[in-house]
Amino acid sequence: MAEWIMRQLPALIILVPFTAAPLAYLLGTRFGRPVGFISALLSQPLAVLLAITVMREGTLRYEVGGWGGPLGIDLVADGLTATMVLVTTVVGLFVTIYALGYFGDRERYRFFWPLWLFLWGSLLALFFSGDIFNLYVCLELVSMSAVALVGLTLRREALVAAMRYMLAAILGSLFYLFGVALIYGAFGSVDMQTLREIVRADTTAQAALALMTVGLVLKTALFPLHFWLPPAHSNAPSPVSAVLSALVVKGSFYILVRLWVDVAQPMAFPGVSTVLGILGATAIIWGSLQAFRQERLKMLVAYSTVAQIGYLFLMFPLVTGGGQAATDAWMGGIFHAVSHALAKSAMFLAAGLVLARFGHDRIDGLAGLSRRAPMTAMAFGLAGVTMMGLPPSGGFVAKWLLIRASIEAGQWWWAVIVVTGGLLAAAYVFRVVGPFFSREPEGIDDLDLDPGRSPWAMEGATLALAIGALLLGVLGQPLLDLIMVSAPALVAGVTP
């Protein structure tokens, strides 16, 4: 039995939410919630098992259908995949616990569970996929479930935000698919392992990479193609916002990294990596400034996501040169994705708690929150520490690695951006958190809009995620080791 699980591990991890989703739909509201909870619980040990196995044995390869690439589709788990699967499962579990309380058993939100389980499964399928066309289908699955979840409340702002998101997502997928078509035309395969060996820089291939990059950049909301993100992430129900900022944007980013650093690496041109870095830097500055100006808490957190995504793109110019800088940039970028996932989900869940109990999320009206809702305020504050990149948080480790990489690569200007970004983040975090703790509560009447909700589980889940982001800074070494397992040649310090 144990060997069977080990042999089938990648398929099992993907199948758990994908089996739960139709069951949740078919069996209706009463069974949707327990099905979702059980699925979340089952996923945990499987993801941990995957991480341990990958650490011990290196890359896992699973040939779906028994054919093996390039004829069939492979599921591949190296260190990067195992990391992303782990973070997806952990965030997913806490968001599930939160959602059980947040949505309750109300009929009108009954579609949350099948949609959420489909989103979960699609993300996992995406991270495991070793086939670029399969990635297209996974991208569509992820986008469609995310859009449906954004519009769940049927409020008009949410619907309009969902429409904008849907149009942007479809366009991004189309650009990506065009690139896949060109790659197949040029090289005759869509399997990543095959492509790794035969890819070379010719006209069609470079055009394909450019197209795929544009599509994925749109889906990852990199400045200036970020326009759809703030309304979508702020108007979605809070557990959905958490997953969108923490995981969904990381999905398309993951594919970008796979293409640029791993599979299509010989085709990567340094000029474009620098452009990506510049756009990332602009995102950091601009996103933070916009966050500071917001009046509503959820919009502030959404713009903070726009800024934090910028850090991820600093990875690209620092990786192209190889060497120690590349290794540090790789570790820093991925670690940032993970710690941001934990911290940002905590922030959105906290904002949701504020909305649920006090009926609004106007920043000016939240003075003294620490007295009315201490756990929520603390969770938000701890998450903010990671955003700012203060030690000993996970955010600090990530930023420090990026700074080290930029100095080693001789591109010290990125380090300046990282530090500036931290200061700007401090500005918008303190704008919110300062009044939480310093002033007397005014204008916060505990309306307790929904007495049926039990806040303890929800607050616990929120706090757990925030503390997790902090713990990453202290206990992060195993994660860094995992990230480096079977890392692409460029960043592993191995001459290809």
Site for another protein in 58-97 (CB under 8 A): 62-67, 70-73
Under the binding rule (CB under 8 A), the answer on residue 454 touching another protein is no
Under the binding rule (CB under 8 A), the answer on residue 152 touching another protein is yes
Q: For residues 326 and 273, is the Cβ–Cβ distance under 8 A?
A: no
User: Tokens in use for 58?
Assistant: 């290196």
Residue type, 6: M
Total site size for another protein, rule CB under 8 A: 75
CB of 474 to another protein, least distance (A): 38
Q: Which residue number, 211 or 415, has a Cβ lying nearer to another protein? A: 211
| CA angle, residues 156, 455, 389, in degrees to nearest 5 | 80
Given phi > 0 = left and psi -120 to 50 = alpha, else beta, which region is 188? left
Q: Which residue number, 136 or 292, has a Cβ lying nearer to another protein? A: 136
Q: Which residue number, 118 or 303, has a Cβ lying nearer to another protein? A: 118
Interactions with another protein, residue window 111-130 (CB under 8 A): 111, 114-115, 118, 121-122, 125
Which of 48, 160, 289, 407 forms a contact with another protein (CB under 8 A)?
160
**Contacting range for another protein; rule: CB under 8 A; set: 83-91, 133-141, 372-380, 476-484:** 133-141
Q: Which residue number, 167 or 494, has a Cβ lying nearer to another protein? A: 167
Q: Which residue number, 74 or 408, has a Cβ lying nearer to another protein? A: 74
Burial class for 38, CB neighbours closer than 10 Å (0-12, 13-18, 19+) = middle
Q: For residues 318 and 414, is the Cβ–Cβ distance under 8 A?
A: yes
Q: Which residue number, 84 or 149, has a Cβ lying nearer to another protein? A: 149
What is the C-alpha to C-alpha distance for residues 492 and 485, in angstroms, rounded to an integer? 9
Q: Which residue number, 129 or 393, has a Cβ lying nearer to another protein? A: 129
User: Tokens in use for 436?
Assistant: 């939480």
DSSP annotation of 129 reads B
Residue type, 134: N
Site string (185-214) toward another protein, x via CB under 8 A: xxxxxx-----------xxx--xx-xx---
Number of H helices, E strands in the chain: 21, 2
**Contacting range for another protein; rule: CB under 8 A; set: 89-97, 145-153, 401-409, 480-488:** 145-153
Under the binding rule (CB under 8 A), the answer on residue 418 touching another protein is no
Max CA pair span of the chain: 67
Under the binding rule (CB under 8 A), the answer on residue 401 touching another protein is no
Q: Which residue number, 26 or 52, has a Cβ lying nearer to another protein? A: 26
Burial class for 45, CB neighbours closer than 10 Å (0-12, 13-18, 19+) = exposed
Site string (32-61) toward another protein, x via CB under 8 A: ------------------------------
Q: Which residue number, 7 or 493, has a Cβ lying nearer to another protein? A: 7
CB of 336 to another protein, least distance (A): 29
CB of 4 to another protein, least distance (A): 8
Under the binding rule (CB under 8 A), the answer on residue 224 touching another protein is no
What lies within 8 Å, CB to CB, of 432 at 6+ separation is 297, 300, 363, 366, 380, 384
Under the binding rule (CB under 8 A), the answer on residue 307 touching another protein is no
Q: Which residue number, 52 or 174, has a Cβ lying nearer to another protein? A: 174
What lies within 8 Å, CB to CB, of 269 at 6+ separation is 201, 206
CB of 193 to another protein, least distance (A): 14
Q: Which residue number, 62 or 436, has a Cβ lying nearer to another protein? A: 62
CB of 376 to another protein, least distance (A): 24
300: how many CB neighbours lie within 10 A of its CB?
24
Under the binding rule (CB under 8 A), the answer on residue 217 touching another protein is no
Q: For residues 331 and 401, is the Cβ–Cβ distance under 8 A?
A: yes
Under the binding rule (CB under 8 A), the answer on residue 140 touching another protein is yes
Interactions with another protein, residue window 331-360 (CB under 8 A): none
Under the binding rule (CB under 8 A), the answer on residue 5 touching another protein is no
User: Tokens in use for 70?
Assistant: 């390039």
What is the C-alpha to C-alpha distance for residues 485 and 60, in angstroms, rounded to an integer? 11
Under the binding rule (CB under 8 A), the answer on residue 8 touching another protein is yes
What is the C-alpha to C-alpha distance for residues 330 and 249, in angstroms, rounded to an integer? 18
Given phi > 0 = left and psi -120 to 50 = alpha, else beta, which region is 66? left
CB of 215 to another protein, least distance (A): 11
What is the C-alpha to C-alpha distance for residues 193 and 329, in angstroms, rounded to an integer? 24
User: Tokens in use for 50?
Assistant: 């995957």
User: Tokens in use for 146?
Assistant: 């995310």
CB of 169 to another protein, least distance (A): 8
CB of 358 to another protein, least distance (A): 17
CB of 117 to another protein, least distance (A): 10
Under the binding rule (CB under 8 A), the answer on residue 489 touching another protein is no
Q: For residues 63 and 69, is the Cβ–Cβ distance under 8 A?
A: yes
Residue type, 18: F
